[in-house]
């Protein structure tokens, strides 16, 4: 992973801890982890970000599925704790007819089972597009989860540009306003990472379809304003655009060329 990231000029990267659609992870290999830590340090990488499988649902109505999400996340965090400064991003969940209030309670209850005082890995709640019954579309929902978590110093937030735009926040015409709202509701100091994506659909569509930078309804100019915003520019940015490696390499170069 580290070698691949290096080869395309990345200074940070995100990866799935296991098959994104679920299933077992490879057994943890301490020697592999140590080699990656050495490579990251030697090449001055920023924080690496692990993404939980998106099939996990911490607020599933089925207790077996919820328990599975808790176990997978515990195991993933155990693994990520071997990488100094690493972060672990997850989709809060889908309440599927239980209602958003129950969803929020169940997600925070799951986090109260998962988080440990001794862990080093910061766990990030990702802002969602509001597709189906996703919890975490509004900043208020994210805040409500954080408020119910005992070890909330272990929590941060990952802002996905496609998701917030698709969720109805106008980052194209009013980025400052959106960030002020984020600050008031959640607090910008919780903001720990950005998923930098364009969107295949107009604002408020709730479809969650990512597009390559400049190819969608957010557009390159607005995305570059995100990258260069004084309140955001020091954060790590992770691409989740529909690309293969050469496409990512071009996007990294493009963003870097336009970074102030």
Binding piece for Zn ion, criterion CB under 5 A, among 171-179, 181-189, 208-216, 245-253: 208-216
Of 208 and 211, which CB lies nearer to Zn ion in the complex structure?
208
> Among candidates 240, 236, 169, 250, which has minimal Cα distance to 210?
240
Euclidean distance between CA atoms 99 and 21, whole angstroms: 24
DSSP letter at 30 equals H
Residue 200 touches which of Zn ion, Fe ion, none (Cβ within 5-8 Å per kind): none
Q: Which residues of this protein are in contact with Fe ion, per CB under 5 A?
A: 126, 160, 195, 240
Taking the C-alpha atoms of residue 161 and residue 3, their distance in angstroms, rounded to an integer, is: 27
Q: Does 126 participate in binding Zn ion (rule CB under 5 A)?
A: no
Does position 198 bind Zn ion by CB under 5 A? no
Instruction: Choose the one of Fe ion, Zn ion, none that binds residue 208, judging by a C-beta under 5 to 8 angstroms depending on kind.
Output: Zn ion
- Smallest gap, in angstroms, from Cβ of residue 160 to Fe ion? 4
Report the distance separating Cα 90 and Cα 73, nearest Å.
9
How many other CB atoms are there within 10 angstroms of residue 70's CB atom? 18
Binding of Zn ion at residue 208 (CB under 5 A)?
Answer: yes
Residue number, 19 or 43, with CB nearest to Fe ion: 19
Look-up of token digits 């290999």: 29
**Judged by CB, which is closer to Fe ion: 172, or 196?**
196
Please choose which of Fe ion, Zn ion, none residue 195 contacts, taking the beta carbon within 5 to 8 angstroms, the exact cut-off set by kind: Fe ion
If contact means CB under 5 to 8 A according to the sort of partner, which of Zn ion, Fe ion, none does residue 79 touch? none
Nearer to Zn ion, 2 or 236 (CB): 236
Separation of alpha carbons 164 and 138, rounded Å: 8
Backbone angles phi, psi at 89, to 5 degrees: -100, 140
Q: Which residues pair with residue 254 across a beta bridge?
A: none
Using CB under 5 A, list all residues that contact Zn ion.
208
């Amino acid at each position: 992973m580290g070698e691949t990231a290096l080869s395309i000029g990345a200074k940070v990267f995100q990866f799935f801890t296991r098959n994104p659609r679920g299933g077992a992870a490879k057994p943890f290999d301490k020697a592999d982890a140590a080699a990656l830590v050495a490579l990251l340090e030697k090449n001055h990488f920023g924080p690496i970000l692990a993404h939980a499988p998106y099939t996990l649902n911490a607020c599933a109505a089925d207790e077996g599925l919820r328990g599975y999400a808790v176990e997978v996340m515990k195991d993933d965090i155990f693994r990520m704790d071997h990488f100094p400064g690493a972060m672990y991003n997850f989709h809060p969940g889908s309440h599927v007819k239980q209602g958003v209030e129950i969803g929020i309670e169940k997600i925070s209850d799951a986090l109260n089972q998962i988080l440990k005082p001794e862990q080093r890995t910061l766990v990030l709640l990702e802002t969602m597009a509001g597709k189906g019954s996703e919890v975490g579309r509004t900043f208020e929902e994210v805040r409500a989860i954080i408020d119910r978590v005992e070890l909330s110093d272990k929590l941060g937030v990952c802002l996905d540009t496609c998701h917030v735009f698709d969720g109805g926040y106008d980052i194209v015409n009013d980025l400052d306003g959106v960030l002020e709202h984020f600050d008031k509701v959640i607090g910008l100091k919780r903001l720990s990472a950005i998923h930098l994506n364009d969107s295949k659909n107009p604002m408020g569509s709730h479809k969650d379809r990512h597009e390559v930078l400049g190819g969608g309804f957010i557009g390159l100019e607005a995305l570059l304003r995100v990258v260069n915003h004084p309140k955001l520019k020091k954060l790590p940015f992770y691409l989740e655009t529909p690309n293969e490696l050469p496409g990512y390499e071009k996007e990294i170069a493009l963003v870097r060329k336009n970074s102030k």
